[in-house]
A and B are shown apart, each in its own frame.
Chain A
Amino acid sequence: MALIEIKNLTYTYPGGSKPSIDDVSFKIEKGEFVLITGPSGCGKTTLCRCFNGLVPHFYQGEIKGEIEVAGINTLEHRTCELAKHVGLVFQNPENQLFALSIEKDVAFGLENVGLSREEMRKKVDWALHQTGIYDIRERSPHEISGGQQQRVAIASVLAMEPDIIVLDEPTSFLDSLSAEKIFEVIYRLNREQGITVVLVEHRLDLTAKYANHLIVMEQGTIRLEGEPRDVLCNQETRLIGVGIPKATLLYEMLKKEDFSLGNKPPLDSEELADQILEALK
């Protein structure tokens, strides 16, 4: 059975005139690295809120369809029960840290669940090491950089040992270099710890190479879905206004000029460079 299964989901915010999510169905398997992209206001964030039950429990509104995450029906279970299975990381790192020290913030979820101090300590230290912020664990959130803050946010959901980590544009407040570091942390968690990752992101240049499942949304619906290379080479993707990786674009231009490059469209500049070097030999 799939880890996340959504069937004919339609949701309208209270007071909304048209649905933010309109008849969406898809499956996410365990261990996948899923990338969700699409123009602003296409329902990506709303979809993220569905994964841990913030929609409909926190936001109310009208919901239809079925949604099951880790075998739990999110319409019937509260967010705090789902928090053990789904970790949600938000866009603004500042507004998701509430404690006066980083360590305490990472422990926040575990404290809520009522874990014993010894176990908590072990999990907190593990999460801090995984995200590379162990050395700054006693600092206060406003003393550290945005990139570090976002890593704290990741650590704090990681400490709960969730099956799925959902990240809603986690790098939109960060520069490219810190963003890249965040993506590397996420990718490592996916590969080494086997955690399923759902990443909502515009920067496909940096992220497409990590994903093995790409979903393109537009106006509350899923327009395209599948293997990233296929989706990104599809002409329809371009019309929606998705930032296709430059390497993929260049590949297609060269292809059009009958440059023989092999049949696998590249997702980042390194892959493309390899292909060009191969062709020039």
Chain B
Amino acid sequence: MSVFDGLKFRRVNSLIHNLDPRIKFVYVIGVFIATLLFLQIIPLLALFVLQLPFVFLARVQRQWLRSLRGAAFLASFIFLINIATNFFVGGYTLTPEVVESAAAMTLRFVVLVESFSVFFLTTSPDHLGLALEQSRVPYEFAFAFTTAVRFVPVLAEEAQTIMDAQKARGLELEKGNLLKRIRNYIPVLIPLIVSAIRRSLELAEAMESRAWGACKRRTNLYRLCLHRGDYVLLGITVAILAGAIYTYFFVSIPTIVNLL
């Protein structure tokens, strides 16, 4: 099922993939704050460009472009709404300033999408679970998270099998109006849910058989520890934030309209 393709994490060995997810998250939050400081197009453009090296170092350009394309609809919506409100509120005139500020708002959104997509494209669910665990999130939650990710492809396959089986018995999924179509999916959903429940019971049994809950302080085969790259990224984050705050307070940012 193509819907679930995006959830399958592709294991790539790159500098960015091997970074500590916690530090990567700090970086994303840093960029997030820096982005929210500015309403002008030039600093936002700088923030956008600043993240491109990460995308290329991680070699996820193609997936990254796809996620940006996914955000395109919302981005154009933001652009149009901004223009429209300025147009109606500002006395029915369309000045270059209005267009520029709308573009800046849109760019702000794109930068946010960009940074979060880099994070999720380069962080394996395994690492994410580990980061949760080491950030003192109770193990049960971290386990639930990784197990859910583990079973996404399994359930997707099962849904496909059930759909094929029901179609073979004459179920027409793509027939009728919207409401009818939703109703068509009931014979697919019920077996899917029943089998998921049964599966979860078997899983519980297997966990129990492998000493789940044997001792209070559970250990872990892996441990996240900070390497040189992580400190570099932390430094970059601090630099971006410091630069952003300095610019915000002490530099008067020209607009493109002014420059022209």
Shortest Cβ gap from B122 to chain A (Å): 16
CB <8 Å contact, B209 and A100: no
A-B contact pairs, 14 of them (CB 8 A): A81-B214, A83-B209, A90-B202, A90-B206, A98-B147, A100-B124, A100-B129, A100-B150, A104-B222, A112-B212, A113-B214, A117-B221, A117-B223, A160-B210
- The answer, yes or no, to whether B66 is at the interface (CB within 8 Å) is no
CB <8 Å contact, A112 and B213: yes
How far does the alpha carbon of A104 sit from the alpha carbon of B150 in the complex, in Å?
12
Q: Which residues of A contact B205 (CB under 8 A)?
A: 49, 54, 58, 90
How far does the alpha carbon of A90 sit from the alpha carbon of B129 in the complex, in Å?
26
Q: Which residues of B contact A99 (CB under 8 A)?
A: 126, 146, 150
How far does the alpha carbon of A103 sit from the alpha carbon of B202 in the complex, in Å?
21
Q: Which residues of A contact B206 (CB under 8 A)?
A: 88, 90, 95-96, 98
- The answer, yes or no, to whether A73 is at the interface (CB within 8 Å) is no
- The answer, yes or no, to whether A111 is at the interface (CB within 8 Å) is yes
CB <8 Å contact, A100 and B146: yes
Chain A positions 43 through 59: 1 when the CB is less than 8 Å from some CB of chain B, otherwise 0 = 00000010010100010
CB <8 Å contact, A95 and B203: yes
Chain A positions 149 through 185: 1 when the CB is less than 8 Å from some CB of chain B, otherwise 0 = 0000000110010000000000000000000000000
Q: Which residues of B contact A213 (CB under 8 A)?
A: none
Q: Which residues of A contact B11 (CB under 8 A)?
A: 138, 140
- Give the size of the chain A interface in residues (CB under 8 angstroms): 44
CB <8 Å contact, A54 and B209: yes
Q: Which residues of A contact B223 (CB under 8 A)?
A: 117
Contact residues, B50-90 vs A (CB, 8 A): none
How far does the alpha carbon of A213 sit from the alpha carbon of B169 in the complex, in Å?
46
Q: Which residues of A contact B149 (CB under 8 A)?
A: 100
- The answer, yes or no, to whether B228 is at the interface (CB within 8 Å) is no
CB <8 Å contact, A83 and B214: yes
Contact residues, A90-128 vs B (CB, 8 A): 90, 92, 94-101, 103-104, 107-117, 120-121, 124
- The answer, yes or no, to whether B43 is at the interface (CB within 8 Å) is no
Q: Which residues of B contact A112 (CB under 8 A)?
A: 210-215, 218
Q: A109's closest neighbor in chain B, by CB?
A: B210
- The answer, yes or no, to whether A265 is at the interface (CB within 8 Å) is no
Q: Which residues of A contact B126 (CB under 8 A)?
A: 99-101, 104
Interface centre among B125, B204, B212, B219 (most CB of A within 10 A): B219
How far does the alpha carbon of A92 sit from the alpha carbon of B205 in the complex, in Å?
12
Contact residues, B1-43 vs A (CB, 8 A): 11
Chain B positions 143 through 176: 1 when the CB is less than 8 Å from some CB of chain A, otherwise 0 = 1001101100110000000000000000000000
Mostly, the B contact residues are helix
- Give the size of the chain B interface in residues (CB under 8 angstroms): 34
Q: Report if A95-B209 is in contact (Cβ < 8 Å); known contacts: A112-B214, A114-B217, A114-B219.
A: no
Number of A-B contacts (CB under 8 A): 110
Q: Which residues of B contact A160 (CB under 8 A)?
A: 210-211
Of A49, A52, A80, A156, which contacts B214 at CB under 8 A?
Answer: A80
How far does the alpha carbon of A108 sit from the alpha carbon of B124 in the complex, in Å?
19
Q: Which residues of B contact A114 (CB under 8 A)?
A: 214-215, 217-219
Interface residue ranges, B against A (CB under 8 Å) = 11, 124-126, 129, 143, 146-147, 149-150, 153-154, 199, 202-215, 217-223
Interface centre among A87, A111, A113, A138 (most CB of B within 10 A): A111
Q: B149's closest neighbor in chain A, by CB?
A: A100
- The answer, yes or no, to whether A228 is at the interface (CB within 8 Å) is no
Of A92, A103, A142, A157, which contacts B153 at CB under 8 A?
Answer: A142
- The answer, yes or no, to whether A37 is at the interface (CB within 8 Å) is no
- The answer, yes or no, to whether A79 is at the interface (CB within 8 Å) is yes
Interface centre among B125, B143, B205, B222 (most CB of A within 10 A): B205
- The answer, yes or no, to whether A84 is at the interface (CB within 8 Å) is yes
Q: Which residues of B contact A104 (CB under 8 A)?
A: 126, 221-222
How far does the alpha carbon of A83 sit from the alpha carbon of B206 in the complex, in Å?
11
Shortest Cβ gap from B217 to chain A (Å): 6
Q: Which residues of B contact A266 (CB under 8 A)?
A: none
How far does the alpha carbon of A113 sit from the alpha carbon of B203 in the complex, in Å?
18
Which 4 A-B pairs give the minimum distances between C-beta atoms?
A83-B211, A96-B206, A107-B221, A109-B210
- The answer, yes or no, to whether A141 is at the interface (CB within 8 Å) is yes
CB <8 Å contact, A98 and B207: yes
Chain A positions 197 through 219: 1 when the CB is less than 8 Å from some CB of chain B, otherwise 0 = 00000000000000000000000
How far does the alpha carbon of A88 sit from the alpha carbon of B210 in the complex, in Å?
8
Q: Which residues of B contact A141 (CB under 8 A)?
A: 150
Interface centre among B11, B150, B215 (most CB of A within 10 A): B150
Q: Which residues of A contact B207 (CB under 8 A)?
A: 98
How far does the alpha carbon of A120 sit from the alpha carbon of B218 in the complex, in Å?
12
